[in-house]
Structure 1
Amino acid sequence: MMYQLVLLLFLHFFSLFQGTDPLAATCRGRLQVQRAKLNQEINYQTMMRNGAEKLYRATSNKKLKETIALELNFVNSSLQVLKEQLAELNSSVQMYQNNSSIPTTPMVPLGLKETKEIDFKEPFKDFILEHYSEDDTKFDSAIQQLNKIRQAIRTPSRDSSGVKLLFQYYNLLYFIDKRFFASHRNLGLHFEWFDSLTGLPSMQKSIAFEKASVLFNIAALYTQIGAKQDRTSSDGMDAAVDSFLRSAGVFHYLKQNFSNPPSTDLSPEVLDMLTHLMLAQARECLFEKLIADSEKRNLSHCLDIAQEAAQVSEVYKQLHKLLSSTAIKDCVPSSWGGLMHVKTEHYAAISHHYVALGLIGQKDEISSTAREKLEHLHVDSKSNEKSEAKYVPQNANERFRLGRSHLHQSIALHEEALRTYRMCRQLQLIDSLHDLLQRAKENSVSLLSRLIEDSDQFQDVAEPLPIRASTKFQLKLTDPDLSQYKASDLFKALGPLKFFSAKRHWTAARIVELKKTNDDVSFGFSVKEDSPVVVTRVEIGGIAEACGLKEGDYIVAVNDQDTKWASHDDISRLIKGAGHQISLKVVTPMNWKYLHSRGGTAGMSVCSKSTSSSSSGVSSSSSRNPSPVGSVCSKESDKKGSWNPFRRRSSKDPLEASYITNVLYR
Structure 2
Amino acid sequence: MPTAQSVMLAIHCKKTDTTDVKTPLLTYIRATYSDREADDAADDVEKVQSLRAEVGLAQSGTQPGVRDTLIKYYRCLNAIETRFPISKEKSAAQVNFAWYDAFRPSRRVVQPNLHYEKAAVLFNLAALSSQAGPLGQLSTEACGLFALLRESESPKTDSPKPMDLTTECAGLLEKLMLTQAQECVYHKAVIDKKSPNVLARLAKQAGTMYDEVERAFAAPSLANYFDKSWAQHVSLKASIYQVEELIQLGQQYRSEDKVNNQIAVLKEAFARLQNTRRIARAISTEMSDSVNRTQVRQFPGSAVRSARSLSRYTESVDGLLRQQFDRLAAATDNARLKLAEWELPDTLKALDARPPSALPEALSRELAEIEAIGGVNHLKGILAEIGELRREVDADLMAAQ
The equivalent residue for 1:167 is 71
Q: What is the deviation of 1:147?
A: 2.1
Matched, 1:402 2:261: yes
Spell out the pairing of 1:97-116 with structure 2 (5 A cutoff).
104-116=5-17
Kindly state the Cα deviation for residue 458 of structure 1 after the two structures are TM-superposed: 4.0
Which amino acid is the alignment partner of residue 115 of structure 1?
T
Conservation of the 8 A alpha-carbon contact between 2:115 and 2:156 = no
> Does structure 1 conserve the Cα–Cα contact (< 8 Å) formed by 2:4 and 2:188?
no
Structure 1 counterpart of 2:98, from 155, 168, 192: 192
Unmatched 5+ residue regions in structure 2?
Answer: 289-309, 347-401
Q: 1:415 aligns with which of 274, 280, 304?
A: 274
Partner of 1:446: 330
Residues 370-411 of structure 1, C-alpha deviations (whole Å, 9 max, x = no match): xxxxxxxxxxxxxxxxxxxxxxxxxx4xx1122122122222
Helix, strand or coil for the counterpart of 1:327? Answer: coil
Deviation of 1:213 (Å): 1.0
1:312 and 2:206 are equivalent in the alignment = yes
The Cα shift of 1:289 comes to 0.6
Q: Is it true that 1:145 corresponds to 2:47 in the alignment?
A: yes
Separation of aligned partners in 2, 1:185 and 1:267: 28
2:290 matches 1:290: no
Higher relative contact order (CA 8 A, sep 6+): 2
Displacement of 1:115 after TM fit?
1.1
User: Partner letter of residue 449 of structure 1?
Assistant: D
Instruction: Give the whole-Å Cα distance in 2 for the aligned partners of 1:275 and 1:125.
Output: 37
**Conservation of the 8 A alpha-carbon contact between 2:250 and 2:262:** yes
CA distance in 1, matches of 2:192, 2:81: 49
Q: Is the 8 A contact 1:411 1:445 kept in 2?
A: no
Q: Distance in 2 between matches of 1:210 and 1:277?
A: 23
1:54-453 alignment, distance < 5 Å: 104-135=5-36, 136=38, 140-154=42-56, 155=58, 157-158=61-62, 161-181=65-85, 185-199=91-105, 200-225=107-132, 229=133, 239-258=134-153, 259=155, 261=157, 262-294=161-193, 301-362=195-256, 396=257, 399-424=258-283, 425=285, 426=287, 429=311, 430=313, 431-453=315-337
User: How far apart are residue 447 of structure 1 and its match?
Assistant: 2.2
Deviation of 1:336 (Å): 1.2
**Residue in 1 aligned with 2:358?**
none
Structure number with the higher helix fraction is: 2
Kept in 1, the 8 Å contact 2:84–2:92? The answer is no
Change in Cα spacing, 1:105 to 1:350, as seen in structure 2 (3 Å) is same
The answer to whether the 8 Å contact 2:19/2:98 transfers is: no
Classify 1:322/1:170 alpha carbon distance in 2 versus 1 (closer, same or farther; 3 Å): same
Q: Mind listing any 5+ residue stretches in structure 1 that lack a counterpart?
A: 1-101, 230-238, 296-300, 363-395, 460-666
Provide the secondary structure at the position in 2 that maps to 1:118: coil
Amino acid at match of 2:144: G
Q: What residue in structure 1 maps to residue 386 of structure 2?
A: none
> Residues 412-465 of structure 1: CA distance to partner in whole angstroms, max 9, x if unpaired?
222221210111132864112221221122111122124324535348xxxxxx
Question: Cα deviations across residues 645-664 of structure 1 (Å, max 9, x unaligned)?
Answer: xxxxxxxxxxxxxxxxxxxx
- The offset of 1:103, in angstroms, is 6.6
Label 1:412 to 1:458 Cα distance change in 2 as closer, same or farther (>3 A): farther
The Cα of 1:158 is off from its aligned counterpart by: 4.8
**The residue matched to 2:7 in structure 1 has which SS?**
coil
State the 1:109 CA deviation: 0.9
Q: Closer, same or farther in 2 for the Cα pair 1:412/1:188, shift >3 Å?
A: same
Give the residue type in structure 2 aligned to 1:215: L
TM-score with structure 1 setting the length: 0.43
Q: Find the aligned partners of 1:159 and 1:219 in 2 and give their Cα distance.
A: 16
CA distance in 1, matches of 2:316, 2:80: 47
Identity of aligned residues (%): 21
Asked whether the equivalents of residues 415 and 441 of structure 1 are also in contact (C-alpha less than 8 Å), the reply is no
2-side partners of 1:354 and 1:304: how far apart?
9
Q: CA deviation at 1:352?
A: 0.9
- Post-superposition Cα deviations, 1:62-100, rounded to whole Å, max 9, x if no partner, equal xxxxxxxxxxxxxxxxxxxxxxxxxxxxxxxxxxxxxxx
Q: Which amino acid aligns with 2:150?
A: K
- Contact kept in structure 1, 2:4 and 2:191, CA below 8 Å: no
Contact 2:15–2:99 (Cα < 8 Å) also in 1: yes
- 1:197 offset after TM fit, Å? 2.0
Does the 8 A contact of 1:163 with 1:221 survive in 2?
A: yes
Question: 1: distance between equivalents of 2:63 and 2:27?
Answer: 37
> Is the partner of 1:326 in helix, strand or coil?
coil
Q: Deviations over 1:496-530 (max 9, x none)?
A: xxxxxxxxxxxxxxxxxxxxxxxxxxxxxxxxxxx
